[in-house]
Amino acid sequence: MLTWNLTSQVVTDLDVEKTLNCGQVFHWQKVTQGWVGAIDQKAIFLKAQLKTPNKTELFYPREKAMIVERYLALDHPLSKIRSTFPTDPTMCAAIEACAGIRIIRQPLWECLATFITSSMKQVAHIRQISLYLRAHFGSYLGEFEGAQIYSYPSIHKIAQQTEATLRAAGLGWRAKNLLQAAQQLDQGKVNLESIHGLEDDEAREKLCQLSGVGPKVANCVLLFAYERLSAVPIDVWIKRILLQNYFHGQPQPTERQLKAFAREYFGAYSGYAQQYLFHYARTLKSKR
């Protein structure tokens, strides 16, 4: 049973629940008072108390304060970011539904690997796969209220597996992609750290050299791990909401036209806007 020496601070515009459950990260577990999970190799506990409609007191381990503050992107100026969004009805509804959602800064490999395993999978199943890989190939970090906490397995650990052992995670044909990507990285064919220094297009191109990584997964990694807040992943949900709300009654745009529109129309923080639309669309469906 892990114990926590907590510190706290009052944060404006932070909804921990939505931030952890809006489809950017998939492993945090709910406990009585808050959430437990891992940031790299550190077990972390988070608790949020609402003070006013947009102010939250966030409690987190004192000795890991810097790590948590960086991970949750508490430095992102959400008010300023929101002000750059267009003000059409759909976007306004999404902003209201997504108050306090922050694009977090995830570890590179963990984010990349998770989204390689995400293609044509529902969020619930991506989570299941992530927890399986952690429990079987990650490092045990401790237990809290029955929740077992593991780190995400290293590149090398995954690279050492066989396609069969990975398929046991329910990966199906994605197992080969994950294995090959891990091996490419393990052999130094691509260096994830070095991508930090590249322009968006170069970075995207580099990521797409990895097995199982195409434009959509690359944009997820750019947005959720490389802080490229204008990167717009277009999945089935975003495509649907764009077509219904911004291309209604018009001839079907090509993928290229859709991308160009998203990047231009939603502005400098189009990745943020995209995430709000994604979560908004999913909450709408669950309500029906």
Report the interface residues with DNA, using CB under 7 A.
Answer: 22-24, 115, 118-126, 128, 167, 170-173, 177, 208, 211-218, 220, 233-238, 252, 254-257, 274-275, 278, 282
Work out the number of other CB atoms within 10 angstroms of the CB of residue 66: 8
Q: Could you tell me if 54 and 13 are in contact, meaning their C-beta atoms sit under 8 angstroms apart?
A: yes
C-beta of 83 vs 257, nearer to DNA = 257
Q: Give the DSSP per-residue string, 159-227.
A: HTS-HHHHHTTT-TTHHHHHHHHHHHHHTTSS-TGGGGGS-HHHHHHHHTTSTT--HHHHHHHHHHTS-
H or E, element range at 281: helix 270-287
Q: Whole-number minimum distance, CB 283 to DNA, in Å?
A: 12
Q: Whole-number minimum distance, CB 154 to DNA, in Å?
A: 22
Q: Edge to edge, what strands does the sheet with 29-30 contain? A: 6-12, 55-61, 42-52, 35-39, 29-30
Q: Whole-number minimum distance, CB 7 to DNA, in Å?
A: 29
C-beta of 43 vs 223, nearer to DNA = 223
C-alpha span between 115 and 165 (Å, rounded): 19
Residue 129's closest CA among 138, 118, 142, 120?
118
- CA 115 to each of CA 39, 98, 99, 120, 199: distance values in angstroms, whole numbers, following the listed order: 17, 22, 24, 10, 21
C-beta of 35 vs 272, nearer to DNA = 272
Number of H helices, E strands in the chain: 14, 7
C-beta of 4 vs 130, nearer to DNA = 130
Q: From the CA atom positions of the chain, what is the Rg in Å?
A: 19
Q: Whole-number minimum distance, CB 145 to DNA, in Å?
A: 22
Q: Whole-number minimum distance, CB 235 to DNA, in Å?
A: 4
C-beta of 55 vs 189, nearer to DNA = 189
Q: Whole-number minimum distance, CB 234 to DNA, in Å?
A: 7
C-beta of 179 vs 218, nearer to DNA = 218
Burial-class residue 183 by CB neighbours within 10 Å (0-12, 13-18, 19+): middle
Q: Whole-number minimum distance, CB 137 to DNA, in Å?
A: 17
Q: Could you tell me if 81 and 73 are in contact, meaning their C-beta atoms sit under 8 angstroms apart?
A: no
Q: Whole-number minimum distance, CB 263 to DNA, in Å?
A: 13
C-beta of 125 vs 157, nearer to DNA = 125
C-beta of 142 vs 170, nearer to DNA = 170
